[in-house]
């Protein structure tokens, strides 16, 4: 973004860079969490196989139930991470690329406008009453106006949308962090409860009922994403 630093305040550029880094870190952590869940499922599968060697049907069935319960809890947890964290954050990362692209286009069209203005000013100085030069001057006027209109559309997009994004993106990151914390706590609590239940049954045959995990409400995050998606810079509508 540095090559278009003249288009946005330095503070805005630094904030966008920081938010983008945080967004990527949260995505990376969530992907790692999913990998850890896969490893957990493998461990539980191995434990079930080992218990099967015991030939105790009650214990085998209990461990299978525990494995199924953990698998269900993990699928729900992974689903939350994908739908509420990874997929939205991937969209947000694409947004940063669109911002960079818009700034680059704005810088380019500003340069085009400045070059056309220099040529136009030269024509004005030389045109006089010459009919052919007056025709060229008329065309130059139109070209200059077109170049200015394009630059101003891009500039307006940056001036209007970036402040809105700088307000929405931190809210989205905060809500994402809350969802992750809530989902992680629910998943870890469920896994701990299930494994303790299975361990007790394996040791003394005491059966403890298993309860499914609940889903995390993501309406607040979806509301933030809807606002972000409505911006022209996100929809790529600036032509």
Give how far Cα 168 sits from Cα of 15, 162, 172, 228, 235, Å.
12, 10, 6, 7, 16
* Per-residue tokens: 107: 């810088």
pLDDT along the chain (239 residues), means of 10: 65 91 93 90 77 68 81 91 90 90 93 94 85 87 94 92 90 88 88 76 49 44 62 57
Rounded to whole angstroms, how far apart are CA atoms 111 and 113? 5
pLDDT at 208: 38
Task: Fold for 16-235, please state it.
Answer: Substrate Binding Domain Of Dnak; Chain:A; Domain 2 (1.20.1270)
Classified as helix, coil or strand, 221 is: helix
pLDDT at 200: 66
pLDDT at 8: 84
Rounded to whole angstroms, how far apart are CA atoms 91 and 13? 19
pLDDT at 76: 92
Q: How many Å separate Cα 99 from the centre of its chain?
A: 14
Structural domain spans, the chain? 16-235
Of 225, 236, 92, residue with least CA distance to 154: 236
pLDDT at 206: 46
pLDDT at 214: 36
Question: Taking the model in full, what pTM does it have?
Answer: 0.70
Q: Are 187 and 142 in contact (CB under 8 A)?
A: no
């Amino acid at each position: 973004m540095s090559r278009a630093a003249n288009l946005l305040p330095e503070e805005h550029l630094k904030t966008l860079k920081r938010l983008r880094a945080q967004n990527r870190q949260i995505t990376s952590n969530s992907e790692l969490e999913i990998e850890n869940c896969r490893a957990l499922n493998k461990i539980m599968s191995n434990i079930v196989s080992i218990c099967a060697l015991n030939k105790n049907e009650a214990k085998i069935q209990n461990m299978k139930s525990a494995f199924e319960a953990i698998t269900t809890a993990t699928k729900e947890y992974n689903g939350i991470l994908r739908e509420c964290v990874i997929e939205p954050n991937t969209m947000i990362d694409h947004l940063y690329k669109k911002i960079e692209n818009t700034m680059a286009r704005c810088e380019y069209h500003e340069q085009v406008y400045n070059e056309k203005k220099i040529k136009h000013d030269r024509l004005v100085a030389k045109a006089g009453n010459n009919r052919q030069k007056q025709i060229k001057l008329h065309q130059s006027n139109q070209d200059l106006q077109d170049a200015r209109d394009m630059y101003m559309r891009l500039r307006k997009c940056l001036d209007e949308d970036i402040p809105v994004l700088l307000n929405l993106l931190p809210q989205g990151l905060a809500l994402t962090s809350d969802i992750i914390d809530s989902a992680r706590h629910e998943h870890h609590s469920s896994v701990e409860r299930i494994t303790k239940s299975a361990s007790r049954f394996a040791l003394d045959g005491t059966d403890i009922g298993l309860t499914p995990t609940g889903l995390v409400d993501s309406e607040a995050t979806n509301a933030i994403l809807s606002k972000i998606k409505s911006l022209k810079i996100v929809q790529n509508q600036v032509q």
